[in-house]
Chain A
């Protein structure tokens, strides 16, 4: 009996991510959810700019590459073109979603656009070599903040889930991580719910995944997982920030 195998929706090629990067885990979870919901043929993914810019090579569903930060805008167009058939998801990093694409993110949430967003938060710009991101923690050492992020000069990190939860629009917002087997199972549940919400036409669903960047954090993959527990989760608490239909059920 096969206990675990590569999901069908994940392409059978080697990914370009650095050793120990948790992008691969989240890719697999998305592919598993697409398989389990049986929506591969009608799913369209929107790839971002950033480390996951090549995500279109890794999923077996149709993919579109959006300009930096504009994935929710592209997703809006694709979804509205055929709202009953298309299942549209975007896969974005923090530099893409929380920096240059902040406007698109906030407005698609405010419009309660019926799309699913997978948001990878690793507190750094990975692809460009480890510069400070809007989500970098106070005091975090990066290429552009060698003495640690100074909040007086650079401001404070953006907590995307909390910020979007203040809007009336979004249907479902949850923050998860993938730094342990248990956390990965929770993350999968959240991602599945985000896709199911779209199938049920409930509206905007965003899952923020606290991810690692061992290369640019300057750590081993194992230490990077620990760093998520010790540093990131205290600043970005895990949990459901908005679940409108669960609230209405009560």
Chain B
């Protein structure tokens, strides 16, 4: 009983206050000690005081006794305190039920495959504990565990059926708890060094699946936060743009893809291209800004899957409003004089008005390409004038340096520009035919606005390190700088991809099985199931069929086993006589049968009498009642020997001269 609880509680321990873990272990040890000495570990009053102290402690720590965190702590503590008394079978079951509750509580935090596997094992231990409760005297652990495994396996089909068909409800019954967890992935702002930190992370950002042809790597710019405002050090968006469908037109065929975003505890969402329509997220309204930045009202705390139809080729905001134009040209007052000077010189040398801005963009890209710029994760520290230092002194940097400097130059030269962050590229998983995008694919690029063409994507990093865009970050970095996880041996790769495939399926079919997915899946399975009422009917019917099926499979089959060895021997004797043409009547008593047989075959008289007597003695005699008694064994052995020796001839022995009566 202690072991299943321990299995369930151990993963909770890191989230519980230390004193609860220690108190629980202490109680368990006292219990074990008490079981050995056969005494109550502590007195009743002390136990009561301890329990009250524990409840008060939980109350002080969490301020509440209910809710996921406080409730788990309270139950964990009480389950320990309960160990202090000698439990009745019902108490034991109750404790194991608490274990079930604590087990399920894990899934509020973690839902990955490993957790589920571990918890399935813990559930097995709990069930085995319930079975063991039935036989308190027995200490064998193997039979309960084996039976528990059988029960769990038999229960699984029904569980899956209910899981698939049980109508999922949207929304919550009461408030979700405030979950405080570190944000991961891109943030809403960008300072030098932010993204290079992300690059080191192998953490999954999202997965994407394309229903048609997959775009080329150069097209895979997953758009995240769009940054407008620069203070000389950090890019951010102080006030997001108004929520409006951007003025944009798409060209060509729209691309369909679905994206499974890992929870990053922030509000931005990712887009590829210009969406034809925004998908609706359950319980979390979203807006799309005029700058094609998609934001949700609530942070993304759960893994999220959405499908989008989008144009990869589009024209965004051909006409720029004066306010936006001003914002796209704003620079901090002062600082970076050399960069401003350079930009001014481009502006001065530009001739044609319509192609001027495009020429300036090209000049900047040429600068990055022609000058000795290096793509590196370890740029030197930049001083007060970060852009000047980068452009003219260090010339070493990462995508955020390039994007930041590029946009600065553009604005200084009067070209409206902004920084866009997001992810670029991704690793294709050939096993599942989808794209895995990780932290290391984080990227920053720029957008410039050109008259008549709208906002255009310009990736200055691509000018410096084209391999970054085509082959990913590890190809672009100098060998020495590749993070360990990027440089892992090639032989591990298929393994990792297979594991990711399993995880992806798990996420989509188990964790991501939400009302929308259920609706989609069931409707595709059978249009009838699209309605929740028919779903309930199907659930009832399916469950009934399954239960009946399991019941039929389980039903104890009657076996024709002559459990009584004496009868078995006697049957053999009767068969031998039947072969002589003397079958035993259906309801003929053994003694009557013997008399009848004797009349027909007097030559066999002694044997028939002896076998009948031995049979009656061992079956109905006083010794026969005590199976295993020495007397019973003796008479049974005699019977066996006599039957074995009974080999009557077809005809009576001639020398006796007894004729068969007719």
Answer yes or no: are A and B bound together in one complex. no
Residues of A within 8 A of B (CB): none
B residues with a Cβ closer than 8 A to A are none
